[in-house]
Chains A and B, each alone.
Chain A
Amino acid sequence: MPEEQVRIAREGSGTVIVAPRGDVDMSCSPVLRTALRGEQDRRPRRLIVDLADVGYMDSSGLATLVEAMRTAKRNGTHMVLCGMNDKVRAIFEIARLHQFFTIVEDLSKAREG
């Protein structure tokens, strides 16, 4: 996951969308972690992580998102995950983390939330 593989869009009203592409595994999750930390330093009101273009995620990706969620809670940022496919959703369920995160179907619903 080269750096250009994490798209970042800052929208009005303090919303930022972080959208990784490809596989989020041990070799690639540091790039996502860096992107999330950079955006969280800006203290957005809402952080949307759009996983629509992620085909695979392992526990290093999960750990990256758990870390981001903890930071978001500390900063008062509303963090939402969206767009995950069945294979990505499965690892959240195996780790019982699907209840820890706010997960919605797609980006439009994430913007509404």
Chain B
Amino acid sequence: MPRWFYQLASPRWCYQITGRLLPGFSIVALLLLLGGTVWALAFAPADYQQGNSFRIIYLHVPSAILAQSCYMLMAVAGAIGLIWKMKVADMVAKSCAPIGATMAVLALLTGAIWGKPTWGSWWVWDARLTSMLILFFLYLGVMALNSAIESESTAAQASAVLALVGLVNIPIIKYSVEWWNTLHQPATFKLTEKPAMPAEMWLPLLVMVIGFYCFFAVSLMMRLRNEILRRERRSGWVRDLLLSK
């Protein structure tokens, strides 16, 4: 195993490195989200069919992308915790769940609000929407397991197994718009093709997506640091850190 792997496994090292990274990520997240929002609301052109309701895309797509990336990180961290018994990985997995849950809620709610003027309905039991709702329930399940089981390591194992089983939902979300007939439009960003919308429309979206990822990093690091302090409260370095303040 390379050296960084062992460093990542050290709660103390993680606490220090996240403390150094947090200010930078916070500033970048703030700038990107503020700039992206102003660009999205005031400067991006209106859609010729949907008019200005189209501006909801600048929240809907980033939150949906983040909800899925966050889930994959949670499952991978959970697996690392299961296999190598790495405590920090368990803490990362646990910290991901509440952020992912709120992002899934945001994607679902903005989708519903966007659906009303566009499709004429707040909700349809369509493959994309239903699989996204299941993603939200998976997050709730992981959070419930984490809080219901007293032993930290058993809670981490149980929620990691649930997260890994639920991983099957991620490709279903991704391909739901291709496998089934759906009202939902296909993906905006694809790795292999240029976006179907003009640059004035997708550039602010890209800014928002990166901004959401930075916000995610900030929120995750904050939660992770709390979790590290709580679980390492009996170790010498936490004692020294708290008493030196």
A binds B: no
